[in-house]
Amino acid sequence: MEGTQARWRIIFSGKVQHVGFRYTAYYLAKELYLTGWVRNLPDGRVLLEAQGGVSRIRKLVLQLKSQPHIHIEHTQIEEISLLPHDRGFKVIGGM
């Protein structure tokens, strides 16, 4: 078990809608055993909350940035409070 647990609220901007971002994030987060959710914002950005080991959350962000069909121009990260009973990872607004 990884020691340092965290929950990050991350806002991605760039070409992040209509490119499969949410579903890519969903599958990557599941592979990394992260909990949380992802959803589109009305202004074209994507909001994601991920909880789990810090190194796994960092890996999620790096994997999203390396996707050829997703073009992230800016990432805004904020550490927020852990949700002790959070289970699973979901796409909000679809799936």
Q: In the chain, what are the domain boundaries?
A: 5-86
- pLDDT over threshold 70, residue 69: yes
Distance, CA of 50 to CA of 36 (rounded, Å)? 5
CA–CA separation, 54 vs 44, rounded Å?
27
Handedness of CA 86, 46, 94, 24 (dihedral sign): negative
Catalytic residue among 9, 22, 45, 56: 22
**CATH classification code of 5-86:** 3.30.70.100
Identify the residue whose tokens are 């789990």: 52
Question: Is 40 a catalytic site residue?
Answer: yes
Please report which confidence band the pLDDT of residue 94 belongs to, taking 50, 70 and 90 as the band edges.
low
Residue 87: active-site member:
no
Q: Which of 9, 40, 56, 58 is catalytic?
A: 40
Render pLDDT for 7-62 as a digit per residue (tens, 0 to 9): 999 999 999 999 999 999 999 999 999 999 999 999 999 999 999 999 999 999 99
Threshold 0.85, pTM exceeds: yes
Nearest to 45 by CA among 19, 82, 8: 19
